[in-house]
Amino acid sequence: MVTIDQAKYLDRQDELQDYRHEFYIPKNRIYLDGNSLGLLSKRAEKSVVEMIDSWKNLGIDGWVDAEEPWFFLSERLGSMTAPLIGADPDEVIVTGSTTINLHQILATFFHPSSKRNKIIVDELNFPTDIYAVTSQLQSHRLDPEQHLIKVKSKDGHLLNEDDIVRVMTDEVAVIVLASVLYRSGQVLDMEYITKEAHKRGILVAFDLCHSIGSIEHSLSKWNVDFAFWCTYKHLNGGPGSVGGMYINRRHFGEKPGLAGWFGSDKDKQFDLEHDMTIANNSGAFQTGTPHLLSAAPLIGSLSIFKEVGMERIREKSLRLTQFMIELIDQELGSYHFIVRNPRQEKTRGGHVFLEHEEAARICKALKQNNVIPDFRAPNGIRLAPVALYNTFTEVWETVQILKQIMEEKQYNHFENKRDVIA
């Protein structure tokens, strides 16, 4: 039987417990929505202040004279990110956003021919990826009804990698999949998918939004072609913080489909020539001037990941989610919750996904009880205990609060529909 004493013991034994004090924890709240927006760290706050001070004190000279020179910041942050995804520093660039970076990848590397002119996605992916892929197909005058292949899920929650392989025909040019599914939290076998795709001459791009900062990757070892991600979830970069992109080095030298002057070779950029000399690294796929104030938090945030390392983060994350699942089984078995994420460690990401017909109302009741969850229409509750700042005691308390909500039917006080932002 799982008890509060066990939770407290696990907290005392937690070697990452001191990092909780690095973050601003909302007062008297249990924050379990770090897979949508990570909390602010004191180091990230300090980095923003330092960026503003460099602007205030140096003006335009901040491009080269700031402590973290602005001109090279995207590359610098890329090198800090690289160990989190198992890449070489020059294969990673911090730039753009999830959607813009996917557009860049497809605009550059999707070259439909009479034979290869289809893109594989899956029916469980986050809508922004589908919108981007659809618009890229349309830009080539290709009908998404015929050229967009959506891999089906047998149960509406999980994907079978062999089902993905089965649709890898010689008509497919590119595959775009999430590394971790945003609802169920399933971790896909990226190595296997990439290997099978390459056997058939297909390029592979992974959306890492729900895996970067949460699970370990070996993108270069797995020979993945491309990846893209946001930085405001598990990386704690703040709302709208600058995204990131991975380009395998074998694709260096390709002229970017969405070209802009920050994709120039750094030594040539200010020659201001109309014939572009593209950078011979992932920096070639930048477009405009970096959003420095939105990138600044990452300087501090990524320094924490460098200290801790993904192995320890992943280890604690798995223990937190396993502890939560065991508690849910123990305490909530009679209240019709269904745990939809994988229970196996290898395929479980950094959050727990529950289904319940009253999910929207339950989430509102949790918030009234000072627990911050994440609702996903039509009937999903995501709970993300984050390794760097959540505790086992918070997990235990959350499940007890959830049990009380169900016992007292507190959810009846709310409408069973989402708010404007869910």
Q: Tell me if residue 44 falls in helix, strand or coil.
A: helix
Pairwise CA distance, residues 88 & 91, whole Å: 5
Place of tokens 């009804």: 145
Q: Note whether 317 and 389 are within 8 A (CB).
A: no
pLDDT in tens, 181-214: 999 999 999 999 999 999 999 999 999 999 999 9
Is 232 annotated as ligand-binding? yes
Catalytic residue among 233, 361, 364, 376: 233
Catalytic residue among 31, 382, 392, 411: 382
- The correct answer on CATH 3.40.640.10 for the domain covering 47-307 is yes
- The correct answer on CATH 2.60.260.20 for the domain covering 4-31+309-413 is no
Q: Tell me if residue 187 falls in helix, strand or coil.
A: strand
Which among 22, 19, 53 is positioned nearest to 40, based on CA atoms?
22
In the chain, domain spans:
4-31+309-413, 47-307
pLDDT in tens, 55-78: 999 999 999 999 999 999 999 999
Catalytic residue among 122, 207, 225, 374: 207
Residue 265 carries which side chain, given as an amino acid letter?
Answer: D
Give alpha helix (H) positions in 149-238. 161-166, 190-199, 219-222
Catalytic residue among 232, 262, 305, 353: 232
What pTM was estimated for this model as a whole? 0.97
Q: Across residues 127-153, what is the average pLDDT?
A: 98
Instruction: Cis check for the bond before 378: say yes or no (omega within 30 of 0).
Output: yes
Structure tokens at 132: 């981007």
pLDDT in tens, 17-60: 999 999 999 999 999 999 999 999 999 999 999 999 999 999 99
Pairwise CA distance, residues 228 & 95, whole Å: 10
Is 61 part of the annotated catalytic residue set? no
Is 210 annotated as ligand-binding? yes
CB atoms under 10 Å from CB of 193, counted, come to 24
Pairwise CA distance, residues 59 & 66, whole Å: 10
Is 335 annotated as ligand-binding? no
Binning pLDDT at 50, 70 and 90, where does residue 417 land? confident
Binning pLDDT at 50, 70 and 90, where does residue 114 land? very high
pLDDT at 416 over 90: no
Torsions phi, psi of 254, nearest 5?
-70, 135
Give the pLDDT score at 143. 98
226 beta partners? 205, 247
Is 88 part of the annotated catalytic residue set? no
